[in-house]
Amino acid sequence: MAQWEKRFIYSRPAEERVFLSRTPVPGAVCERCGESEIARYPAANHQGPRIITRCQSCFHIVSVRRPVADDMWPPFRAVAYDWEPSFAERRGRDEQTRD
Ligand SMILES: [Zn+2]
């Protein structure tokens, strides 16, 4: 299966319950509380889909970034999600922000 197909074709979950895994970040230390229990996981907030790295002890956010294709987040993302905008679209955005 091609890489782009993995983002659009999902099989039915085999697990009884679907859950989110928080991936530990080895070697990271929280700058607020000093704990080393740091985890990375996908989230959806007011900015859209993001990958958040957060301290699991005090919930301090270490970093927030836009997901890349390998993150598989968000599921069912649009085919054109990562495409560069066309010249016409960029021009339209420039005109909107000029006012
Ligand atoms: Zn912390």
Maximum Cα–Cα distance for the chain, whole Å?
Answer: 53
Q: What's the whole-number mean pLDDT along residues 41-58?
A: 94
CA dist., res. 14 & res. 18, Å (int): 9
pLDDT tier, 85 (very low <50, low <70, confident <90, very high otherwise)? confident
Residue 45 CA, ligand 1 centroid: distance in Å: 21
Q: Does 98 score more than 70 pLDDT?
A: no
> How far is 88 from 57, CA to CA, in rounded Å?
47
Kindly give the distance from the C-alpha atom of residue 35 to the centroid of ligand 1, in angstroms, as a whole number: 5
CA 44–ligand 1 middle distance (angstroms):
21
Comparing C-alpha atoms, which of 68, 85, 88, 84 is closest to residue 3? 68
83 CB-side CA count, 13 A: 11
Q: Residue 29 Cα, ligand 1 centroid: separation in angstroms?
A: 8
Q: How far apart are CA 87 and CA 19, in angstroms?
A: 41
- pTM of the full structure: 0.69
Domain positions in the chain are: 20-98
CA of 24 to the centre of ligand 1 (A): 14
